[in-house]
Amino acid sequence: MNIEPFFDNWCYLRTELGWLDRVLATAVARQRKDTKEIEQVARSHSDRVTSHWWKGIVSLESTISADSPADMPRKGGSGVSYQQQMESKIRVSQQGGVALGLPTLCQRLSLTPFEKNVVLMALAPEVSRRYGKLYNFLQEANQTSGSGLPTVDLLLRLLCRNDGEWRSARLAFAMNATLVQRGVLRLPTSSTESFLEHSVKLADQIVEYLLADQPDATLLDRWLQKTDDLSTVGLSAESPLPVLSLATWEPENLKSEVDAKAVLQITPALELSLWSKLVLPEPLLATLRHLGDRIQYAQQVDQQWGFQSTCATDSLGGVALFVGDRGTGKTTAAQAIAQQLQVPLMAVDLSCLNLAEQRQLLADLTAKTPTVLLLTSAYCWLGRDAVLAAELQSFLVARHRAIALTIFSATRKELIKPSWQQQMTQILTFPKPNQSSRLVLWQQSFPAQVTLADDIDWNALARLPLSAGEIQAIAREAAICAAASGSVSISMADLQQACRFKGIKL
């Protein structure tokens, strides 16, 4: 039987969410039916509150309802056929080089089908708020005040078919269980609510990994190794998912206490303007240039033109948030601004640092005051789970008062706490390039000294929904294919082969 692989990670997620849609549709229909039946029989508020007890005794429409939350018979069979089909498609996809986030996480942690579905249900509200509203309805919470997160009770009710499964599955939420111990799931450490009422949330860094267009298993392995090391020595297993630094960047030993892999000093080449490499909408380019202008001409307008006495001291510097998928030009834009100012760019990958190193970094940056500072993986400091709020607030005040530019970088705006967003001078969204922009990016991706064959179909390449970073990676991969075959030029066949290696259908 010919099994078609998933095109990409999002194609896989849509299939899994389609399964979840069917589960939720059945649960909502059942709950509406139960509510209607109860309203017909109940005579008081107390009757409604205790209906889960007496419904197992009183027959409504010849249906005996069990009082166990786990006894939920399902229609249409056990679903083994669907599971087997999914496993086959996942296996074929991974063999073809397609990166799938959730299956890889399951394989690394040896998760059970129940644990996999728990992660899927916790991920769904991060994809669409519709799932949060459905969860609130099924949990009988007010849809405007509910958290939109699934509770332990809801997960057990929807994913367990009998008492035995319910008792076993409940152990998946214990403190020593895999998902909790490895920091994948976030459960309240102290609460006045019962255990079943606890909301289940995925760690922000796991959400980012699972929703990536091309999840990087290397990053996941590094994070799992880091959480494993922390749990071994008795520390909190919550640690950001690391992001690999570009191999062309040279590490600067800022201080021996800080991981040198995370702190990088970049001096952009001055002979070629990096602004010309940025293929972005013109309004965004103009705003980016103005961020550099605010630093470049600050002394002139303040000291020579007399604006120093009229300008508030807490608005001299700029603190910006760059939002966009990897490869959309956020780092290149920061480099272009540094090149414009003719200063080095200090780039720090916050996810490579533990809590102690982050505190040390804050002190170092406050003392050194770099002119242009890029902080990637911004959710580590600005996310809802960040713990350095007091120290960071003082740091931002100092950066606002300095003639300097601080750039935070994140893949999604939702990862940043709204109170931190309000302190940004600018929040700039870097869109994925459209087809015309991708055509320019493809033609720019090859150095001038590279010979290109005449058979390259630029329009076909431009139709691929890729980011600038992905285009550059494929161009280099094609060059390797050409060199390996002994060719002196890069042909369309080399590009097709490079796309296959990257799991992209051309």
Location of structure tokens 């009757």: 47
The predicted structure's pLDDT at residue 505:
75
Q: Specify the higher pLDDT residue, 9 or 141.
A: 9
Cα distance between residue 439 and residue 303, in whole Å: 45
Q: pLDDT tens digits for 347-402?
A: 988 888 878 888 888 888 888 888 999 999 898 899 876 777 788 888 898 888 88
Average pLDDT, integer, range 55-78? 44
Fold classified for 435-501 = Helicase, Ruva Protein; domain 3 (1.10.8)
Mean pLDDT (whole number) for 457-471: 89
Model-wide pTM > 0.95: no
Predicted confidence (pLDDT) at residue 20 exceeds the cutoff of 60: yes
Residue 405's SS3 state is strand
CA–CA distance, 123 with 150 (Å, rounded to integer): 10
State how far the Cα of 249 lies from the Cα of 259, in Å rounded to an integer. Answer: 15
Mean pLDDT of the chain: 79
Lowest pLDDT segment from 105-109, 176-180, 262-266: 262-266
- pLDDT tens digits, residue range 286-296? 999 999 998 88
349: part of which helix (H) or strand (E)?
A: strand 345-349
Domain 263-429 has CATH 3.40.50.2300: no
Chain CA centroid to CA 245, Å: 17
Position 491 pLDDT exceeds 90? yes
Answer whether 263-429 and 435-501 agree in fold.
Answer: no
Strands of the sheet with 345-349, listed across from one edge = 263-266, 345-349, 372-376, 405-410, 318-323, 426-429
Note the pLDDT tens digit of each residue in 296-324: 888 888 777 777 666 655 567 889 999 99
**Percent of all residues in the chain with a pLDDT value above 90, rounded to a whole number:** 25
Domain extents for the chain? 9-218, 263-429, 435-501
